[in-house]
Every structure is written in structure tokens, then in C-alpha cells.
Amino acid sequence: MYAKFPYNEAIDTDAKLRRSFRSLKFLQMEDPIRFDVWAKIAPSAREDALAALRANGVYVSEIELRKAVSESIRNDALVKVAKYLPLSTAENIMANSAWLSEPRLYQEGYSDSEKAQFCPKHELHFGGCLGCHICRNFYVQ
């Protein structure tokens, strides 16, 4: 048998935590997402792609940059074009870069090889279990 003690909310730290969490309207565990742009590169646009990717600073070295462009052209594969962008900048790059072939918008940190979900409304490849970040308005504009 356990002895029954009178309940005292003043010393109940769990009750204090429950009250403080109830008062929060939104508990944010992460920052709003940014975006990466991936695309294929047409063989005829090799030099334009090299110049643009060099300016974007996506790749650490010139060798890594040239290797990514060559593999994209040879294997008709996606290459990371830009990273850590707000949505407006990513959409601008996708619309105004003539050297891009089949541009795709990804949540920051995801790639074509990963298990990303897809939102057909926003043409966004994203991760997570809460759905499209643009539909939820949880992104850097």
C-alpha cells in the first residue's frame, strides 16, 4: 500500500510544463526550409553550365565541378545547380537559365537518389512526414 499525500501543484513540475506548452500556439522544431535546384545539362550548353555553376559556388573545386558536368552530360543525369536558396530565387534560376534541361526543385539537402516525396502542385521534391512545405507555408520566400 502506498501512502496518499495531498496533491500540491506548486511542486508539480510536470503540471507547470503542461501549462506552458498549452500556452504555445506553435512549437517550431526546425527552421523554414530553403531549396536546391537540380537539372540535367545539355551537351551543347557545357561552357554556359560551367560558367554558371562556377559563379553559383555549388562545388568546392574546379575538378569537382567539371566532373559533375561531364557525368551529367555523359549519363544524362541530374547535377546540383544551386543550393540553399529562397523559393523566389530558385524559381528565377529555373525559369531564366537557358542551359538547364529538366530543372527540378528539391528541399535543401535532398537529392534525386534519396527517398523524397513529390508535390505535383508545386513540383517540389521534399522530405518529412508533414507534407509539402510550400503547401504548409513553411519555407524561406
SS3 101: strand
SS3 81: strand
CA-closest candidate to residue 120, choices 109, 108, 104: 104
| All residues at 6 or more sequence positions from 127 whose CB lies less than 8 Å from its CB, including other chains | 107, 109, 110, 114, 115, 116, 117
* DSSP3 helix / strand / coil % (the chain, rounded to 5): 35, 20, 40
Q: What is the pLDDT along the chain (141 residues), one digit of tens a residue?
A: 555 555 555 555 555 545 554 444 455 567 899 999 999 998 999 999 999 999 989 999 999 999 999 999 999 999 999 999 999 999 999 999 989 999 999 999 888 776 788 999 999 999 888 889 999 999 998
Work out the number of other CB atoms within 10 angstroms of the CB of residue 66.
Answer: 15
Q: Where are the domains of the chain?
A: 35-126
Cα 86 to Cα 78, 108, 128: the distances in Å are: 20, 10, 19
